[in-house]
A and B are shown apart, each in its own frame.
Chain A
């Protein structure tokens, strides 16, 4: 399979790729900084900017009163662009300082005095739950009789799972540049996954119309969901300054401020109970998800919905009651992050699988395999049928290729040795654990109207092609995939096609590049547009084929000769009988007649003929996903167009002395249909898995008791480094050339593999279980070294901390 490199790779590796802060400063451009709250909850009494304004170089200070409309929000408009009257979290933006240079800005920011009356904050899910502080209402997905089935189940396990958030840690922190235009409009360059949302928030905040705000996204230095909603206010800050002072302005957050100000993956608290029989077959599941939404709604209700929709994961659950409630706290407003709630539901059910296995003393793999969707056990708790189900195959193949059974024996023998050594007083030797988990990730926005995309495909007279869509490029390669899709339709070589920066004046009303849907939605739209052009070109080709070459338009047009006068070009639309697929082959920059293979014309010659014959060479495509009917109120219906599936075995070692974890081996198998670009897809798989691995192991968001994030930079917040990747890392794709569900038989890949990192977390639990002979442990996510050691040696911690082990 050919895997061309990323479109931007040449400029990436030579350092030439331009991000927001790499843009040359324009004459008079201002540096804009944000002053944010140091307290989690307070009444905002006054903002005193008098000292700041005395700093030479400080030009202006803006507060909430300077916006025309203050409130924004993707689902509920509940969040002020700048705090007014009440402060709701540490890091909440209060005012903006605009300055001529960085130094003045830094000093100016320091000199702003904020007067507040501090109020008691609510900082945990438990406290918010007790006080009934919720965002939206409790939602339920139910099937069968979960309570009855639970009562009658032979065995039951239950648990409470705590899951912390995680920072996106995109390397390019939030950034925006706003440039006032001569016609009163404003051009905003933003590092954003959702240019349309940026456009709306800027326009609304400044009292402008959408036509007056052009948002341009060339690329992002990473997004991962963190730039789906939360780029918008940042851009609004730059735009406010630009508009008020009629000067260009840029906001560049540093990593510390970015981490303190922006929301994370939602923390979750999950209570669950599972009823099952002697074979480990699940009969009933009862789950209550509670998430920390933070101070404002952001996307948290949608995220909760996806957590609920993924609480079954790969397993058939005949009787289920799944509930979800978003709690309101005084934390940063939590937001989208690769997986979008899915990982939380899956963490719960995968942990339950381990518990069932431990309870019945059978291998967790067998429990999973028995419960896996298969045959007529193929309807989800929300009533969607699992079609084209490859899950059993993914389990079976990986069990063999990873040598799961043999390694299980080896690991048990190894741990026996370590443990017998320990009884002699020698506290050395590493424990090992292993676990296989699966993913069945639903592809489609659960918010139905977002499942549309549009694209503009332009072919120039010289045969080169420019594509514009609503998709934004953040390294995932959506531009490269869309380019390859269009290339395939028009039969063009790589260097003749380019995907342009995303801009709202070319593609309007776009959906965020999120939910792994970038290529599906925008690629499909681009294909529709390209096919329209190809159809017209086929008509032109037939026209040319039937006409002596010396009478072609390129030989005659504009010359005023008799030949020119004789040309009668058929109306392309009225005579659309040419089947471009059957009659002409578009390949390698040439168009060849199928009936008469000796006749061909180069693509660029053909486009020139088309132009001279006044045939449009550009077109627009709009695509929507059909057949989605999930009802948010009843919790039933078809929520997804299809599922992307995978399985993964991870083996870890755990140091019984320190709790340190090392991933020894990972075997990962996914069904990605027929990839457009396998190299890019594999990069998504390894990247997502390692990103998830950080979330479940080392990435510990540490807050002070007042709700201040203390781990706000890489010196304290540890994302995986190159040394943390599995020593053996086998990634394979299931051959699946027959997939027809989606554009060109491909499957979405952005998020699904992230959820497979949970096999590392369950493997840690497996090592601890074998290490201390106690029931399967309850280790929070992330399983930091300290938490692992706590689980392993609760008595030792109790000895120092008092209380019961």
Chain B
């Protein structure tokens, strides 16, 4: 198999091929220090402030059409940009020719110190280019991932609304100037599409700091994937690195031995199967939300609304959120309540194995994945007609915050079966099987009796072991867990 020792992407319309050291560094550093595109700022280096926002479109990866979406460049590695078109703030407009967002941000006093401004401009350009209605809600929802410390946001929201008006005054002129039109002409698209058919094998033996071997592999098939993972069982699987990039930036982990899944086309698929929606490892949370909506699973779609920021959702994958195995991850309680399972590639044998999710989380940040294994797919049963699903998340700040306690409940219409899962009450995402039985209604029983609820709550409190940390005390978490569950149970409509 022919491989390449470079990755390729377009940057503001120019095709770049990158080799060597830069593969292992963050995209924001590459933009700022290698390309001197310093409009992209780095503030938190953990995807929580949006100052580093750039637009990215996959080209020839998966079957979806190219679509520019806002992502955080500070926690993405250059290597992962392979097969992408990128546009930075510098590509959006110039002093004499600003785009509508830039113009309105300037005129509405949406920029004070200016440090967050490029990120907001990029995020709102993304909003405008979607072509949908721009109202206050849309502006807020597209800038949830951007922090500003100066303006109090009011002038920025105003700028977003004004930009929407500018767009709608002359939609044709706007359409002709979108990033897709300007920065993804056919020839470059073809160049990228051709490149991504070839696997990437970058091996650096020399290290200026004397730290030894570095490699970046991107196989194009599951077979190649199994081979490389068998060869390097301790390599790091690189999804979107929305978590890995953070620990890397904070010096808590090196990213030197990497296997990226981005060239494996089948992992971009979302397929409806009898056992549920099968979601590939490269499917982003934004893709997943769209898939849920398409299937009419609105409660599941909404459960993703309080997940991280738009920028994170545009690159982070569901698989990553599961494999990360954080006890306060947002999707595991949802998936546990829905009875999801995951497909694991055992690279030692090359075999694939379905594992129910409630047997996947073994301990704090410990999963059923053995060295070399890869999580390939997640299968999510969708709520059937009449079935009920609800997700509730408590956090200090409502949006873009990590939960203190979260709870997901699925129930049959007659409540003869329920599944309940929590985040933030144990060392792993917690499926409350013990009380599911207690709370399953017997035939003829219309709703829960008071003693039945009391008893279930007591069992719940006996089972969970929440800790005290900066997000909340043990007592607070206990009161929340019980309170949230009671609230959800109360809200299940009686059939």
Contacts of B146 in A (CB 8 A): 722
Q: In chain B, residues 71-103, which have Cβ atoms closer than 8 Å to a Cβ of chain A?
A: 88-90, 92-95, 98, 101-103
1/0 per residue, CB under 8 A from A, across B120-158: the answer is 010000000000000000011001101111111111110
Write out the residue numbers on chain A whose beta carbons fall within 8 Å of the beta carbon of B491. Answer: 428
B147 touches A5 (CB 8 A): no
Contact of A254 among B41, B45, B479 (CB under 8 A): B45
Complex contact B116–A171 (CB within 8 A): yes
- Encode B393-427 as 1/0 by CB contact (under 8 A) with A: 01011111110100000000000000000000000
- Which among A86-94, A279-287, A404-412, A795-803 touches the partner chain? A795-803
CB <8 Å contact, B113 and A715: no
In contact, A716 and B39 (Cβ under 8 angstroms): no
Tell me the bound Cα distance from A427 to B453 in angstroms. Answer: 14
Would you call A44 an interface residue if the criterion is a C-beta within 8 Å of the partner chain's C-beta atoms?
Answer: no
- Cβ of A50 under 8 Å from chain B: no
A720 CB contacts on chain B under 8 angstroms: 152-153, 397
Contact A686 B396 (CB under 8 A): no
Query: Separation in Å of the B261 CB from the closest CB of chain A?
Result: 25
A528 CB, min distance to chain B CBs, angstroms: 27
By the criterion CB–CB under 8 Å, are B398 and A723 in contact? yes
| A173 lies within 8 A of chain B by Cβ | yes
Verify A13–B111 contact, CB threshold 8 A: yes
Q: Does B458 contact A (CB under 8 A)?
A: no
Main secondary structure of the interface of B (DSSP, over half): loop
| In the complex with contacts A12-B111, A17-B114, A800-B479, A714-B49 CB distance below 8 A | yes
- Interface residue B444 (Cβ < 8 Å from any Cβ of A): no
User: CA A793 – CA B251 in complex, angstroms?
Assistant: 42
**Inter-chain contact A222/B149, CB cutoff 8 Å:** yes
A655: nearest chain-B partner, CB-CB: B394
Interface residues of B in 266-284 (CB under 8 A from A): none
In angstroms, Cα B470 to Cα A785, docked, is 12
Q: What residue in chain A is nearest B24 (Cβ atoms)?
A: A103
Which A residue's beta carbon lies closest to that of B405? A658
Given contacts A15-B90, A683-B150, A784-B396, are A723 and B144 in contact (CB under 8 A)? Answer: yes
Residues of A154-187 at the interface with B, using a CB-CB cut-off of 8 Å, are 168-173
Q: Does B472 interact with chain A (Cβ within 8 Å)?
A: yes
Among A14, A170, A714, A789, the one with the most B-chain Cβ atoms within 10 Å of its Cβ is A14
A762-805 vs B, Cβ < 8 Å mask (1 yes, 0 no): 00000000000000000000001110011001001100110000
> Is A547 engaged at the interface, CB distance under 8 Å to the other chain?
no
Instruction: Check if A664 is an interface residue, CB within 8 A of chain B.
Output: no
**Chain A CB within 8 A of B446 CB:** no
In this assembly, does B324 line the interface, its C-beta being within 8 Å of a C-beta of chain A? Answer: no
Beta-carbon contact of A15 and B251 below 8 Å: no
| In the complex, residue of chain A having the shortest beta-carbon distance to the beta carbon of B151 | A687
Shortest beta-carbon distance, B42 to chain A, in Å? Answer: 8
> Quick one: given A219-B114, A714-B49, A725-B154, are A13 and B90 in contact (CB under 8 Å)?
no
Query: CB within 8 A of B147: which of A6, A719, A784?
Result: A719
A797 contacts which chain B residues (CB < 8 A)? 475-476, 479
Question: Would B45 and A789 count as touching, CB distance under 8 A?
Answer: no
CB of A240 closer than 8 Å to a CB of B: no
Report which of B114, B155, B400 forms a contact with A12, defined as CB distance below 8 A.
Answer: B114
Number of A-B contacts (CB under 8 A): 263
CB neighbours (8 Å) of B208 from chain A are 56-57, 103-104
* Selected interface stretch from A132-140, A568-576, A688-696: A688-696
Determine whether B250 belongs to the interface, using a CB cutoff of 8 Å to chain A. Answer: yes
Q: Are A786 and B487 in contact (CB under 8 A)?
A: no
A790 to B475, CA, bound (A): 10
Q: B364-400 CB contact bits vs A (8 Å, 1 = yes)? A: 0000000000000000000000000000001011111
Which of A691, A715, A786 meets B152, CB within 8 Å?
A: A691
- Check if A173 sits within 8 Å of B484, measured CB to CB: no
A735 at the A/B interface (Cβ < 8 Å)? no
Asked if A713 is an interface residue, CB under 8 A from chain B, the answer is yes
Whether, in the assembled complex, B59 has its beta carbon less than 8 Å from a beta carbon of chain A, the answer is: no
Chain A 685-707 interface mask (CB, 8 Å, partner B; 1/0): 11111110000001010100000
Chain B positions within 8 Å of A222 at CB level = 113, 115, 149-150
Residues of B with C-beta under 8 A to A567: none
Which chain A residue shows the least CB distance to B479?
A: A796
Question: Quick check: B36 and A24 within 8 Å, CB to CB?
Answer: yes
B48 at the A interface (CB under 8 A):
yes
Contact of B487 among A223, A427, A683, A731 (CB under 8 A): A427
* Cα–Cα, bound, A57→B401 (Å): 38
Check A14–B98 contact: CB distance below 8 A.
Answer: yes
A9 CB within 8 Å of chain B:
yes
A22 within 8 A of B: yes
The distance from the CB of B422 to the nearest CB of chain A, in whole angstroms, is 14
Given A714-B147, A786-B472: A255 touches B45 (CB 8 Å cut-off): yes
**Contact, CB under 8 Å: A14 / B116:** no
User: B487 — which chain A residues lie within 8 A by C-beta?
Assistant: 427-428, 657
Q: How far is the CA of A196 from the CA of B472 in the complex (A)?
A: 43
> Contact between B397 and A224 (Cβ–Cβ < 8 Å)?
no
Given contacts A12-B114, A800-B479, contact A173 B152 (CB under 8 A): no
Q: Is A635 an interface residue (CB 8 A)?
A: no
Once the chains bind, are A688 and B476 in contact (CB under 8 Å)?
no
CA distance A502 to B183 in the complex (A): 39
- Indicate whether A721 reaches chain B with its CB closer than 8 angstroms: yes
Closest partner residue, chain A, to B249 (CB atom): A254
A702 to B469, CA, bound (A): 9
In the complex, are the beta carbons of B155 and A686 less than 8 A apart? yes
A201: interface (CB < 8 Å): no
Q: How far is the CA of A56 from the CA of B209 in the complex (A)?
A: 6
Instruction: Assess whether A476 is interfacial by the CB under 8 Å rule.
Output: yes
Chain A residues, CB < 8 A from B490: 426-428
Judge if B221 is at the interface, Cβ distance under 8 Å: no
Indicate if A585 sits at the interface (CB-CB under 8 A).
no
Contact assessment for B113 and A172 in the assembled complex, using a CB-CB cutoff below 8 Å: yes
A797–B397 alpha-carbon span in the complex (Å): 21
User: Does B205 sit at the interface, judged by CB under 8 A?
Assistant: no
B10 at the interface (CB under 8 A from A): no
Interface check A208, CB cutoff 8 A: no
Tell me the complex Cα distance, A110–B251, Å: 9
Q: Does A413 contact B (CB under 8 A)?
A: no
Whether A10 contacts B46 in the complex (CB less than 8 A), given A256-B250, A683-B150, A687-B152, comes out as no
Tell which of A14, A219, A793 touches B102, judged by Cβ atoms closer than 8 Å: A14
Question: Separation in Å of the A622 CB from the closest CB of chain B?
Answer: 28
Separation of A688 and B48 alpha carbons in the complex (Å): 21
A106 at the interface (CB under 8 A from B): yes
Which of B90, B148, B402 has the most chain A CB atoms closer than 10 A to its own CB? Answer: B148
Q: Kindly state whether residue B474 has any CB partner on chain A within 8 Å.
A: yes
Residues on B with C-beta less than 8 A from A56 are: 208-210
A716 touching B105 by the CB < 8 A rule? Answer: no
**Is the Cβ of B150 less than 8 Å from the Cβ of A786?**
no
Q: Which residues of A contact B51 (CB under 8 A)?
A: 171
Asked if B109 is at the interface of the complex by the 8 Å CB criterion, the answer is yes
Are B113's CB and A711's CB within 8 A?
Answer: no
- For A724, the chain B residues whose CB sits under 8 A away are 397-399
B25-65 CB mask vs A (1 if < 8 Å, else 0) is: 00001001100111111011110110100000000000000
Question: Shortest 8 CB-CB distances between A and B: which pairs?
Answer: A15-B39, A475-B113, A221-B115, A475-B112, A686-B152, A12-B114, A690-B152, A15-B89
Q: List 12 A-B contacts (CB under 8 A).
A: A9-B105, A13-B98, A15-B37, A103-B209, A172-B113, A220-B113, A428-B490, A474-B113, A475-B112, A687-B151, A721-B144, A724-B399
Residue numbers of B with Cβ under 8 A of A are 29, 32-33, 36-41, 43-46, 48-49, 51, 88-90, 92-95, 98, 101-103, 105-107, 109, 111-118, 121, 139-140, 143-144, 146-157, 208-210, 246, 249-251, 394, 396-402, 404, 470-476, 478-480, 483-484, 486-487, 490-491
The chain A residues found within 8 Å of chain B, CB to CB, are 3, 5-6, 8-19, 21-22, 24-25, 55-57, 102-104, 106-107, 110, 168-173, 219-224, 254-256, 426-428, 474-477, 657-658, 660, 662, 679-680, 682-683, 685-691, 698, 700, 702, 710-711, 713-716, 718-725, 729, 731, 784-786, 789-790, 793, 796-797, 800-801
